[in-house]
Structure formats: structure tokens, C-alpha cells
């Protein structure tokens, strides 16, 4: 299977709705699932919903999101984690979830 990178994900998002978990490699799934859980999104929802539906739910819960990626509010730490698809790995490493 072709290795999926942030660039592939970004390209595919503009072509069609994408299953978010399918796009992400294992190292991204854990931290992203943790963040989505805090916003009321379960793993079963993530496998069922497309990226756009996940975005809608995050907007409903958190009130903001970017089209190029996701901004998820980390309430316990009182900070924002901005996940841009083009540099998601770097940001996750910086935050060290």
C-alpha cells in the first residue's frame, strides 16, 4: 500500500471527503483520537464520518476550525493545538502529547 503523507492527505481533501483515520499513519492516530475524544468525537464516529462531518462536529463543539487543517482546543492546558496537514508531524512532536 502506498505510504500516506501529509501532502497526499492535503491533495485528497480537495478532491473528495476523506476518512480521517484512513489517511493518518499510526503515530498520528493516537494523539488525534485523544484530541477528538475531548471534543466529543469517538473512534467509531471517526471511522464512519468523513473529514467534513468531523469538522462540522468540531465547529459545533469548539466553535472554530480551519479548512487546511484542524484547530482543537485543549481545555485542560488552556492552549490551542493547530493541526495543519502540511506540518502535522512537527506540531505533534512540539506538543508531545
Note the pLDDT tens digit of each residue in 34-56: 666 766 666 665 555 545 555 55
Residue (of 13, 7, 12, 4) closest to 52 by Cα position: 13
Q: How confident is the model at residue 6 (pLDDT cuts 50, 70, 90)?
A: low
CA 3 to chain centroid: 18
Run of H or E including 81? strand 79-84
State the pLDDT at residue 77. Answer: 34
**Mean pLDDT of the region 70-87:** 38
State the pLDDT at residue 65. Answer: 42
Residue (of 67, 64, 69, 66) closest to 90 by Cα position: 69
Is pLDDT at 64 greater than 50 in this prediction? no
CA 96 to chain centroid: 16
Amino acid at each position: 500500500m502506498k505510504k500516506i503523507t501529509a501532502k497526499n492527505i492535503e491533495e485528497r481533501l480537495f478532491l473528495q471527503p476523506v476518512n480521517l483515520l484512513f489517511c493518518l499513519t499510526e503515530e498520528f492516530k493516537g494523539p488525534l483520537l485523544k484530541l477528538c475524544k475531548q471534543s466529543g468525537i469517538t473512534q467509531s464516529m471517526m471511522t464512519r464520518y468523513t473529514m467534513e462531518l468531523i469538522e462540522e462536529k468540531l465547529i459545533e463543539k469548539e466553535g472554530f476550525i480551519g479548512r487546511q487543517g484542524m484547530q482543537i482546543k485543549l481545555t485542560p492546558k488552556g492552549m490551542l493545538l493547530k493541526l495543519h496537514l502540511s506540518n502535522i508531524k512537527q506540531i505533534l512532536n512540539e506538543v508531545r502529547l
